Amino acid sequence: MRILQHFHTAQEAEDVGRMLEDRGIATFVSGKNEEWAGGPISGPSGAALCVIVERQYNDAIMWLSNPDHEVQVKRSPSEISDIRSSLQPKNSVRAMLPVLIKLLILVSMFAIAVKFLIMYATA
């Protein structure tokens, strides 16, 4: 994945991304509170439009400078959908965080209980 261009808003990035995808270039907009396997790309304000497939980067650059450019490495809408879904984490850490916190609390409570039992048994 490679940053193509930064935008002030996610909407601007999505609009350009949609035009590129209409021409068969797989894109991703970072900075709109989405999770992906590689982490965030843009800062707290604005958004970054990324080209997902490295081999399509030059086509995207060429098309942005010349809308008549014929894209050489095209992907079908279903291929773009498959590529994008492969970037989404299946079990993100954020989704598992509540379970991990509960597990940590249970282990801590067990350790405290064992400590008190040992203290009580030796007293």
Q: Give the count of alpha carbons within 13 A of 97, CB side only.
A: 4
d(CA 35, CA 39): 7
d(CA 32, CA 38): 15
> pLDDT tens-digit profile of 2-11?
999 999 888 9
Residue 40 burial (CB count, 10 A) = 13
Q: Which residue has the higher pLDDT, 99 or 82?
A: 82
Q: Is residue 63 pLDDT above 80, yes or no?
A: yes
Q: Is residue 46 pLDDT above 60, yes or no?
A: yes
pTM of the model: 0.63
Mean pLDDT, residues 63-81 taken together: 94
Ramachandran bin of 65, using left for φ above 0, alpha for ψ from -120 to 50, beta for the remaining angles: alpha
Mean pLDDT, residues 23-48 taken together: 68
Q: Give the count of alpha carbons within 13 A of 27, CB side only.
A: 28
